[in-house]
Amino acid sequence: MNQSEFDNLLKTALERDLTDAELASLENWLAENSTDQAEWEVLDHLLAALPDTPVATNFTARVLDEVCSVEAAQPVLGQAWWQRLLAPQFRPIQIAAAATLAMVIGGVGYQSHLNQSRAEMAAAIVSIAEFTPVFLADIEAIEAVAQADVIDEELWAALK
Amino acid sequence: MVDRNDPDVALMLRVKEGDLSAYETLVEKFKQPVMNLVYRLINDIDEAEDIAQNVFVQVWKTRERYEPASKFTTWLFTIARNLGLNEIRRRTRHPADSLDEPRPDSESQPLRVVEDVSSSIPTDAALSGELRSKVEEALMDLPEKQRTALLLCREGGVSYEEIAEVLGGISLTAVKSIIFRGRAVLKNRLKPYLKSGEWQKK
């Protein structure tokens, strides 16, 4: 690499990222050319000589205060997420969750009760159906008696 | 995996156990580099201080997730950069927001107490005022990645590998290229001052 190639690479660097090969060439060039190396070091010197940004004297105290208030707001930091939900600040969520749970349990219980009633009714129908033919036969005999002709009173008296 | 005996890692592991005095030591040790980075990322001293404090609060909040897979500073600077970028994005979305309004919870207290800069920063030992402001200006005009990479280089002790991690896990070649580009741009911008030798004046 020569000086003009180095200068060209500098221009290229302003336009795009350099490749591995280009970077290696640059590093080699800088290692061998003290003038360019010195300019590079001047830049580093300028950056290093920038003053530190002023920091408030109470910076650390304010950070510690903030951390303490975070701790106070989250006393259950080490607990599992579901345990944190038991904290007082989640009271509305807890009430809503309890109400939902009660409704679900009530719904399931009511449904179970309905199912049981239906099963009992079905069992009753089955048991009635089992002796219905006999019952119906008796009904027919009774109906037959009820539908008999009116007694012939004279014949009845003669038979006596 | 980083050596657990590294002093910063050892401190952070104590913080992980909830040791508040170790945490205080960490804040004291790293508040300056974090402020330097955040301020030069967002270019607003008041907001930079709030963000820098938030960086350390985040360190505390997420301490249980800390694993010494890399140097502590890599983790710290990553948090600092992310919060700085969030602020830049927030400003892009809400450019009219005033950053100077006092917060309602701090009305009774001064918003911030700043050291007497003139006594803490020996200006005569560094750069002349004009050159310093030109360097700051040129730095602020760099794209964020180039600026962050150069600022991390400036902090010293931050390797290219660490910078690659802070910048989101990019390759080493990309880091070298970003740093080189940043330097090239600065060199171009500051050419008149470099040639005049003004940087050598003290």
pLDDT(A132) > 80: no
Domain membership of residue B7 (yes or no) is: yes
User: Closest partner residue to A23 among B177, B183, B185, by Cβ?
Assistant: B177
A79 vs A9, more confident: A9
Q: Are B88 and B148 found together in one domain?
A: no
Q: Check residue A76 and give its pLDDT.
A: 56
User: Which residues of chain B from 71 to 110 reach within 8 Å of chain A, CB to CB?
Assistant: none
Q: Check residue B111 and give its pLDDT.
A: 44
Q: Indicate if ipTM > 0.85.
A: no
Domain membership of residue B176 (yes or no) is: yes
- Asked if B113 lies within 8 A of A58 by C-beta distance, the reply is yes
The count of C-alpha atoms lying within 13 angstroms of the C-alpha of B103, restricted to the half-sphere facing its C-beta, is 10
Q: What are the residues of chain A with a beta carbon less than 8 Å away from any beta carbon of chain B?
A: 10, 13-14, 17-20, 23, 26, 39-40, 42-60, 62-64, 66-67, 70, 77-78
Question: How many domains, chain B?
Answer: 2
Q: Check residue B68 and give its pLDDT.
A: 87
- Asked if A17 lies within 8 A of B150 by C-beta distance, the reply is no
Give the residue from chain A lying closest to B62, CA to CA.
A77
A131 vs A48, more confident: A48
Q: Could you tell me how many CB contacts below 8 A there are between chain A and chain B?
A: 135
Whose tokens are 């309905």? That residue is A114
Q: Check residue B128 and give its pLDDT.
A: 76
Q: Are B90 and B1 found together in one domain?
A: yes
Cα-based angle B117, B121, B123 (whole degrees, multiple of 5)? 115
pLDDT(A4) > 90: no
- Residue B169 belongs to domain spanning: 124-202
Q: Are B128 and B86 found together in one domain?
A: no
Percent of chain A residues past pLDDT 70, beyond the cut = 83
User: Which residues of chain B from 117 to 156 reach within 8 Å of chain A, CB to CB?
Assistant: 117, 120-121, 123, 126-127, 131-132, 135-136, 139, 150-151, 153-154, 156
Q: What contacts B2, CB < 8 A, 6 or more positions away?
A: B9, B68, B69, B70, B71, B72
| Spatial separation of the C-alpha atoms in residues A44 and B150, rounded to whole Å | 9
Q: Are B1 and B90 found together in one domain?
A: yes
| Spatial separation of the C-alpha atoms in residues B41 and B85, rounded to whole Å | 8
Q: Are B67 and B129 found together in one domain?
A: no
Of residues B65, B95, B58, the one with CA closest to residue B79:
B58
The residues spanned by each domain of chain A are: 3-48, 93-146
| Spatial separation of the C-alpha atoms in residues A44 and A49, rounded to whole Å | 8
| pTM for the full predicted model | 0.66
Distance from the Cα of A83 to chain B's closest Cα (Å) equals 17
- Asked if B48 lies within 8 A of A53 by C-beta distance, the reply is yes
- Asked if A46 lies within 8 A of B23 by C-beta distance, the reply is no
- Asked if A43 lies within 8 A of B28 by C-beta distance, the reply is no
What is the crossing angle of helices A20-32 and A34-48, to 10°? 100
pLDDT(A126) > 70: yes
Question: Which CATH number covers residue B190?
Answer: 1.10.10.10
Q: Are B87 and B134 found together in one domain?
A: no
Q: Check residue A152 and give its pLDDT.
A: 75
Question: Which CATH number covers residue B72?
Answer: 1.10.1740.10
Q: Note down pLDDT in tens along chain B; length 202 residues.
A: 677 778 999 999 999 999 999 999 999 999 999 999 999 999 999 899 999 999 999 999 999 988 888 889 999 999 999 999 999 999 888 776 544 444 444 444 444 444 444 333 334 445 678 888 889 999 999 999 999 999 998 887 789 999 999 999 999 999 999 999 998 899 888 888 776 555 554 4
Q: Are B50 and B3 found together in one domain?
A: yes
User: Closest partner residue to A52 among B113, B121, B180, by Cβ?
Assistant: B121
pLDDT tens digit sequence for A82-116: 776 776 667 788 889 899 999 999 999 999 999 99
Domain membership of residue B41 (yes or no) is: yes
pLDDT tens digit sequence for A74-85: 655 556 667 767
Instruction: Please provide the average confidence, as pLDDT, over all residues in chain A.
Output: 83
Q: Check residue B1 and give its pLDDT.
A: 63
Q: Check residue B115 and give its pLDDT.
A: 44
A50 contacts B131 by C-beta, under 8 angstroms: no
The pLDDT of A139-155, averaged and rounded, is 72
Model confidence band, residue A131 (pLDDT cutoffs 50, 70, 90): low
Q: Check residue B104 and give its pLDDT.
A: 42
